[in-house]
Structure 1
Amino acid sequence: MRTSRDGAVLTVTLDRPDQLNAQTPATWSALAEVGASLDDDVRVVVVRGEGRAFSAGLDRSVFDTSSTTAGGLGELVRLPVEEAQERIRAYQAGFRWLRSPAIVSIAAVQGHAIGAGAQLALACDLRVFAEDAQLRLPEVSLGLVPDLTGTSTLVELVGYSRALEMCMTGRAVGAAEARAIGLATLVVPGPELEDAVADLSAALLSPPVGASRATAALVRSAVRSDFPTQDAAERAAQVQRLHDLAGGR
């Protein structure tokens, strides 16, 4: 995995194109380190995959339950239950930071986004799909469950019934359907993916940083807050913005 910085935009690139950007526990640790190292000047984070796929999910080596390779399923099976759950919690941290209050995250998705790849795309605030993109959560067919924050983000995006159907069948969702059900923010021809993400990033950077971050926080809280709680949050945020503007911030 590599990162690059262009002003307020940080790009995180999964860089194993020969393996379709298959992920390992080292990937998740590296993602968590990126999240922990963010500075306040970063406003947009773009997550992308090198080559023809966003990410085809877990690397095959992780699936070997007989192996004691660090981070593999075999090691998790051999750990005490609480320690295994704590290990997965650390993996989840590599995904959850993509909803950090100070940033807006964008997944640039081409080709396959399967399993852990799908959950990484879902972890972002926004998703730009190339026309060939397919998102799939096949964990149940392997006797497993999505455990990298994917269930909460999927339900938030498409609702309970559709999320249940997608997770229980493990079927592929193409770009056109993803746009129709709210998984994809935009769908563009493959050659236009990079430019579309750049244009969206520029649009997100256009408003003043204080108003942008306050608005993003309100929209995020609205997903789970009742009306009185959300109304109060809007009042508090607006008064704070007025004070900031009066003070020249």
Structure 2
Amino acid sequence: MTALPLTAQPADRILKTLRTYRRDAVLTVELHVPERGNAVTDAMLDDLLTVLDGQDPAVQVLVLTAAGADFCLGGDRGEYDGSLAEDPTGGGIRASAAKARRVCDALVANPAVTIARVHGKAIGAGLALALACDLRVGADTATFRLPELALGLPTAWGGLLPRLISEAGAARVRELILTGRAFTAYEAESLSILQKAVPEGALDEAVTAWAKPVLRRPAAALRVTKTLLNSLSAGTRLADAAALDPELMAAVAAELYRGRRP
């Protein structure tokens, strides 16, 4: 990833899985567990909630990026299996899924314009985090995948499914979920999962090109416009069953775990 000329941003609570940087009204939040492919854990969800809930109102642009070779390889399977071993009824999965929904909702409702800066692989929960952002740019070498069905799980994390259908269309999303195949940045762009695919070396330039005009907009008008866009987008969904994501994930995971036990 190209180094960003930003100032490290202190946090009230020590962040275990993130790095934050601030430059004027731009806050950069970097997923920072590169040795694990920035896999989403409960600790990462807690860190994201700490940053988003405590965000300075003066921030007008939030950039979500990641350290290392990949944006995010999805949920941490080791933590997932450990949670089921501890509570075979899926209670831990339910709590984690509820937290994931809070994180994605906080990104969607963020008063700042949120920009996902994607490189490498964005899988499952990683794709969900990017999709919760207003604007999404990806390296032309980035790849995406929704592997949940192959893992025996529903596509029910962070409100991903209704958001994905709203952006990309039901027919194409159905094919991506049922096959679980990887797809390229250019296909993601054609589906509006990305608004732009660029060479990896041009990612920062693309983010800056979006951020500059946003920073010139009056803050109050920006907040109201975001609220209107979110409301109108939600209004196009005949039903949003994402509120059931934690229950669906817990129920299916518990059944799968019972089937694996001797």
TM-score by length of structure 1 reads 0.81
- Runs (4+) of structure 1 exceeding 6 A deviation are none
Unaligned runs of 5+ in 2: 1-17, 237-262
Letter paired with 2:170: Y
Structure 1 contact 130–189 (Cα < 8 Å) conserved: yes
Letter paired with 2:140: E
CA offsets 1:180-221 (integer angstroms, 9 cap, x no match): 111111111011112211221112212222222222222222
Question: Within 2, Cα distance between the matches of 1:224 and 1:139?
Answer: 24
Residues 79, 22 of structure 1: CA spacing in aligned structure 2 closer, same or farther, 3 A cutoff? closer
The question of 1:164 aligning with 2:181 is answered no
Letter paired with 2:44: T
Displacement of 1:101 after TM fit? 4.7
The question of 1:148 aligning with 2:158 is answered yes
Structure 1 contact 31–95 (Cα < 8 Å) conserved: no
Question: Within 2, Cα distance between the matches of 1:213 and 1:36?
Answer: 16
Residues 191, 123 of structure 1: CA spacing in aligned structure 2 closer, same or farther, 3 A cutoff? same
CA offsets 1:86-114 (integer angstroms, 9 cap, x no match): 44212321222111251211110001001
Question: Within 2, Cα distance between the matches of 1:75 and 1:45?
Answer: 36
Residues 50, 8 of structure 1: CA spacing in aligned structure 2 closer, same or farther, 3 A cutoff? same
User: Could you tell me which residue of structure 1 aligns to residue 211 of structure 2?
Assistant: 201
Structure 1 contact 33–94 (Cα < 8 Å) conserved: no
Unaligned runs of 5+ in 1: 227-249
The question of 1:134 aligning with 2:143 is answered yes
Question: Within 2, Cα distance between the matches of 1:221 and 1:103?
Answer: 16
User: Could you tell me which residue of structure 2 aligns to residue 185 of structure 1?
Assistant: 195
Question: Within 1, Cα distance between the matches of 2:158 and 2:97?
Answer: 8
User: Could you tell me which residue of structure 2 aligns to residue 38 of structure 1?
Assistant: 55
3-state SS of the aligned residue for 1:163?
A: helix
The question of 1:50 aligning with 2:67 is answered yes
The question of 1:8 aligning with 2:18 is answered no
Larger relative contact order (C-alpha < 8 A, sep ≥ 6)? 2
Displacement of 1:76 after TM fit? 5.0
How many residue pairs are counted as aligned between the two chains? 218
Structure 1 contact 10–44 (Cα < 8 Å) conserved: yes
Residues 73, 94 of structure 1: CA spacing in aligned structure 2 closer, same or farther, 3 A cutoff? farther
User: Could you tell me which residue of structure 2 aligns to residue 222 of structure 1?
Assistant: 232
Displacement of 1:84 after TM fit? 5.1
The question of 1:59 aligning with 2:76 is answered yes
TM-score by length of structure 2 reads 0.77
Question: Within 2, Cα distance between the matches of 1:93 and 1:127?
Answer: 20
Letter paired with 1:225: G
Rg (Cα) greater in structure:
1
Displacement of 1:46 after TM fit? 0.7
Question: Percent same amino acid at aligned positions?
Answer: 37
Displacement of 1:122 after TM fit? 1.1
Structure 1 contact 128–188 (Cα < 8 Å) conserved: yes
Farther off after superposition, 84-93 or 203-212: 84-93
CA offsets 1:96-135 (integer angstroms, 9 cap, x no match): 2111251211110001001111111111111101001111
Letter paired with 1:207: R
Structure 1 contact 28–95 (Cα < 8 Å) conserved: no
User: Pairwise CA RMSD of aligned residues?
Assistant: 1.9
